[in-house]
Structure 1
Amino acid sequence: MTLTTALLFCIVALAAIATPGPTVLLALSNGSRRGVRGALPGMFGAMLSDFVLVGAVALGLGALLAASEFWFSMLKWVGAAYLAWLGIRMLRSKGGSFERPAEGAAAAPGSGRQVFFKSFLVAVTNPKGYLFCSALLPQFIDPASPQGMQYAIIAVLFAGLDMAVMLVYAFVGAKAMQLLTARAARWIDRTCGAMLLALAGSLAFYRRATP
């Protein structure tokens, strides 16, 4: 992979990542409720999912989803149900999560793990991510060179860009929490919840492109 190819991939990937999707919406919500530091586990979960997606494409799993209606539908409905569940929970937020702990207080046990797995599961159960990566990534792979290292480079670049975008969203959420009242900040959660429900609906009606 040449430097020019890598830069072009970064531009295309950044445009796709910056578009509000489930993981960046969770970063925004987590930032508003927990601060940037508290949102980090979710970002690491999303980054791990990036490596899973790129690895799946390298192994041909994305092509399997594109070819198999059964496995595509299974993953689609699991992903849509999980997004809907998260969206409903965020819509029903009563604001208790916006009570910031005292300075130096420890986070609730297991909360970091929960944030991590929420973001990870949101990404790995979305078949659109596999299909998108299957269509995009091979365009930046040189078939005449070893492909394993090229996919590894793409995975690192993709995860790094994803992390940078999520940090921006989490920072915006954290600043909003500082500037707004608890009631106003609560609407960040509810807005993100409504958007996750909308994404769940769009995923439920999403269809594979037939050859």
Structure 2
Amino acid sequence: MSDSTFLMYLLALAGAFLLPGPDMALVLATGAARGVATALVTALGIAGARAMHVALSGAGLAALMVTHPEALQWVKWAGAAYLFYLAARLLQAALSRRDAEETAAPATAHSARASLVRGFLTNLLNPKALLFCSMFLPQFVVANGERMGLQYLRLGAALVLVGLLFDAVYAVLAARLARRMRGKPSPYGKFVLPTVFVLLAGRLVTG
């Protein structure tokens, strides 16, 4: 792949990650509600899921889903069910008396692991992310160039790293904007994430 083609690929990735989507919404909402550290851990989980999507699309699973729409629909419903489950858990925590203490306390290993898994599964159970990889990456693979597997690996690694960079920027911006907009924690801030998860679930099912 020539340098100009790879630069075009990076610009196309930047354009894709600048468009509003479920991953951006999740990172922004997490950064605003839970702070930059939790949002960055969530972004790492999303990056891990993107790497999985790259591998699955290379293995042909995306093509299998296209030829079997019922499988695609099952993945959609599984993703929506998971997002509704997260919304219910977060809402339950928001209504509990311990929520204020847990929010003010430093992040624990358990909360970091939960944020990582949340980001990973939210992206992994979004079939659109898998279909995006399967349709976008092959357009930049040169058939008569170096081994196609190696090209695909490089393109996939660039996709994951560029996506992580954008998510990290979104996490920092959301956390800083949230701090500036409120002098003290809003009593409604704890309901931001549950609302986002419900909206993402509805978009996943109807999209």
TM-score, shorter chain, exceeding 0.5: yes
- Give distance in 2, aligned partners of 1:172 and 1:71: 37
Q: Secondary structure at the match of 2:186?
A: helix
CA distance change for structure 1 residues 171 and 97 in 2, over 3 Å: closer, same or farther? Answer: farther
- Give distance in 2, aligned partners of 1:185 and 1:3: 49
CA distance change for structure 1 residues 7 and 185 in 2, over 3 Å: closer, same or farther? Answer: farther
- Give distance in 1, aligned partners of 2:65 and 2:100: 40
Check conservation: 2:32, 2:178, Cα contact below 8 A: yes
Question: Cα RMSD (Å) of the superposition?
Answer: 2.4
CA distance change for structure 1 residues 99 and 122 in 2, over 3 Å: closer, same or farther? Answer: closer
What amino acid maps onto 2:174 in structure 1?
Answer: G
Identity %: 29
What is the TM-score of this pair, normalised by structure 2? 0.84
CA distance change for structure 1 residues 118 and 194 in 2, over 3 Å: closer, same or farther? Answer: same
Aligned match of 1:183:
186
CA distance change for structure 1 residues 154 and 185 in 2, over 3 Å: closer, same or farther? Answer: farther
CA distance change for structure 1 residues 90 and 34 in 2, over 3 Å: closer, same or farther? Answer: same
Q: Aligned-pair distance for 1:133?
A: 1.7
What amino acid maps onto 1:72 in structure 2?
Answer: L
Aligned match of 1:209:
none
Q: Secondary structure at the match of 2:20?
A: coil
1:165 equivalenced with 2:169 (yes/no): no
Q: Aligned-pair distance for 1:89?
A: 4.8
What amino acid maps onto 2:186 in structure 1?
Answer: R
Aligned match of 1:53:
53
Aligned match of 1:126:
126
What is the TM-score of this pair, normalised by structure 1? 0.82
Aligned match of 1:66:
66
Q: Residues 63-87 of structure 1: CA distance to partner in whole angstroms, max 9, x if unpaired?
A: 1111112211111110122223334
Check conservation: 1:33, 1:98, Cα contact below 8 A: no
Give the unaligned 5+ runs of structure 1: 207-211
Q: Secondary structure at the match of 1:79?
A: helix
Q: Aligned-pair distance for 1:88?
A: 4.8
Q: Please, which of 69, 85, 104 is the counterpart of residue 100 of structure 1?
A: 104
What amino acid maps onto 1:118 in structure 2?
Answer: R
- Give distance in 2, aligned partners of 1:97 and 1:34: 13
Q: Aligned-pair distance for 1:160?
A: 1.5
CA distance change for structure 1 residues 123 and 97 in 2, over 3 Å: closer, same or farther? Answer: farther
What amino acid maps onto 1:100 in structure 2?
Answer: A
Q: Secondary structure at the match of 1:183?
A: coil
Q: Aligned-pair distance for 1:151?
A: 1.3
